[in-house]
């Protein structure tokens, strides 16, 4: 059975979302609201530009209140990379540290956002700004799709996404018919 193509957003769409949230932050009168939007912006960057899962950013708590996945901490962020300590498959991985993530933003880790609030926020602004139904995971799919579109090797994308199977990563290879025809013509 063929895998369903994921919902994605491209770089331009992400920039529209990001600008919208920055505008909300800049219009806010209270420091509490400004901080709320700053935290959402950090999470959005980590989702789209590092391919992180929502649980890898804000953590995941079990029914009893214990952490199954710890929230992202300052100690996991290095100069050019972020070490992801994942509960999914019990595998750690390294992702690129987005250039937009500043030292000031790193000092704000761990983020004080509930998963559901962040998820609802992304869905809400996706509808308002892009007129699309998106989830936080859509940001992650955008990361994988963007890498594939830039010609990054599939095994690199697999490693950065933390996929155990290459066919899972293969969903990011969107066939471009014109490019395929030109490529085939060049071979012969």
CATH code, domain with 26: 1.10.443.10
Buried-exposed string 128-151: b where 16+ CB fall within 10 A, e elsewhere: ebbeeebbbebbbbbbbbbbbeee
Specify if 148 maps to a domain: yes
> What's residue 54's pLDDT?
96
- Exposure b/e, 44-54, CB count within 10 A at least 16 = b: bbbbbbbbbbb
Structure tokens at 126: 């996706």
What is the count of structural domains for the chain? 1
Query: Mind listing the pLDDT tens digit for each residue in 14-29?
Result: 999 999 999 999 999 9
pTM for the model stands at 0.87
> Rounded CA gap, 147 and 144, in Å?
5
Would you say residue 183 lies in a domain?
Answer: no
In a domain, 1, yes or no: no
* Predicted confidence (pLDDT) per residue in 94-119, tens digit: 999 999 999 999 999 999 999 999 99
Owning domain of residue 149: 11-175
Q: Which residue, 16, 18, 101, 27, is CA-closest to 57?
A: 101
């Amino acid at each position: 059975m063929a895998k369903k193509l994921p919902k994605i957003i491209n770089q331009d769409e992400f920039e529209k979302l990001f600008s919208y949230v920055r505008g909300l932050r800049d219009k806010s009168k209270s420091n509490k609201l400004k901080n709320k939007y700053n935290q959402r912006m950090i999470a959005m960057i980590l989702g789209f530009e590092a391919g992180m899962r929502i649980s890898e950013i804000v953590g995941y708590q079990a029914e009893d209140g214990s952490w199954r996945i710890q929230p992202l901490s300052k100690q996991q962020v290095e100069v050019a990379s972020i070490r992801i300590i994942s509960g999914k498959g019990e595998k750690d991985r390294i992702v690129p540290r987005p250039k937009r993530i500043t030292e000031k933003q790193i000092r704000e880790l761990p983020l004080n956002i509930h998963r559901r609030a962040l998820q609802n926020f992304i869905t809400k602004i996706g509808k308002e700004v892009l007129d699309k139904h998106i989830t936080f995971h859509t940001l992650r799919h955008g990361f994988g799709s963007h890498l594939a579109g830039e010609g990054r090797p599939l095994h690199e994308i697999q490693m950065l996404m933390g996929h155990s199977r290459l066919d899972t990563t293969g969903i990011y290879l969107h066939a471009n018919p014109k490019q395929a025809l030109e490529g085939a013509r060049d071979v012969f």
